[in-house]
Amino acid sequence: MTHIVTSYASELETLSSSVTQMGGLVEAQLSDVMDAVARRDLALARKVIDLDARIDVYNHEIEADVMNLLALRQPVAIDLRETVCAMKIAHELERIGDLAKNIAKRALVISQQEPLRALNGVIRMGRISLMRVSDVLNAYAQRNVAQAKSVWGADDEIDELYNSLFAEILSAMMEDASAVNACTQLAFVAKNFERVGDHATNIAESVHFLLVGEYLDELRPKGDVTSLTTVPKPDDKAPDPEDKEQP
């Protein structure tokens, strides 16, 4: 079913293809930043940092298009959801871009330090978060509710990986004080990848709302318990991460 006013239809198509293109850039940025961290590739890290400006331009253009559509077309129903969700998804993508840029900056520092064992786990986490972003962008492009919902429900895996990596990085710091600098940077990199997963989940919620018109209202399981993780002191009983009441 197509619009009677063809220019309106083409404005909506342009909007969603801008979001898809922006998503493609963000995917490339994430993939590059992982390589930059893994291979200690400083040139690639700088490329990732530079790419962020282009992603910001996309975000501003999408915002402007959304404002024009709202002001000039007064979209309703599916068109309204299409318009509003484009802006929300672009905002999430822009945040992912910022996180990738931040990882790239930390990659510049990490590359100057001795290699860390936990790095492999962090790269694995990055791969999974990139996969989530790719999946949710495919769900958006192909209007696939089931795929959006599966991304939404799969954030646990990243959270669990992050929890174990966080503990591993803390232990590495305990073992070798000279690694504290690199370990701290790496912990932030891991946290950033974990946040990328959260943004992919938010995009999945928007895609679901776009296609179904209703919010995913079930409580999504939250798997990040690192705020409760501490390094055990001698003779100290480790806190139970399941017990959220414990300080």
Partner 1 sequence: MTHVESIDVLEPAGDAAGKSAAARELPEQASAPAKFDCSGVNVHYGRNHAIKNVTLKIYDRSVTALIGPSGCGKTTFLRVLNRMNDTIEGARVTGRILIDGQNVYDKTVDPVQLRARVGMVFQKPNPFPKSIYDNVAYGPRIHGLAESASALDGIVEDALRRAGLWEEVKDRLAMPATSLSGGQQQRLVIARAIAIHPEVILMDEPCSALDPIATARIEELIDEISRQYCIIIVTHSMAQAARVSKQTAFFNMGELVEYGETTRVFTNPDDPRTQDYITGRFG
Binding site for partner 1 (CB under 8 A): 1-5, 8, 74-81, 213-214
Q: How far is the CB of 88 from partner 1 (least distance, A)?
A: 14
CB of 183 to partner 1, least distance (A): 48
Between 1 and 146, whose beta carbon lies closer to partner 1?
1
At 222, phi and psi to the nearest 5?
Answer: -100, 120
- Written as one letter, the residue type at 176 is D
Q: Which CB sits closer to partner 1, 67 or 180?
A: 67
Report in angstroms how near the CB of residue 85 gets to partner 1 at its nearest: 12
Q: Which is nearer to partner 1, 76 or 146 (CB)?
A: 76
User: Smaller CB distance to partner 1: residue 13 or 114?
Assistant: 13
CA–CA distance, 183 with 115 (Å, rounded to integer) = 10
- The DSSP result for 47-105, as a single string, is HHHHHHHHHHHHHHHHHHHHHHHHHHH---HHHHHHHHHHHHHHHHHHHHHHHHHHHHH
Q: Buried b vs exposed e over 70-108: b needs ≥16 C-beta within 10 Å? A: eeebebeeebebbbbbbbbbbbbbbbbbbbbbbbbbbbe
What number of other Cβ atoms are within 10 A of residue 191's Cβ? Answer: 20
CB of 62 to partner 1, least distance (A): 21
| Token duo for residue 231 | 């390094």
Distance of CA 24 to the CA centre of its chain: 13
> What is the C-alpha to C-alpha distance for residues 85 and 92, in angstroms, rounded to an integer?
10
Which residue lies nearer to partner 1 by CB, 29 or 83?
A: 83
Taking the complex as a whole, the smallest distance from the CB of residue 148 to partner 1 amounts, in Å, to 16
CB atoms within 10 A of CB 177: 9
Q: Nearest approach, Cβ of 15 to partner 1 (angstroms)?
A: 15
Using the minimum distance from each CB to partner 1, give the nearer residue, 8 or 184: 8
Least separation in angstroms between CB 219 and partner 1: 22
> Smaller CB distance to partner 1: residue 4 or 177?
4
Collapsing DSSP to helix, strand or coil, 221 comes out as coil
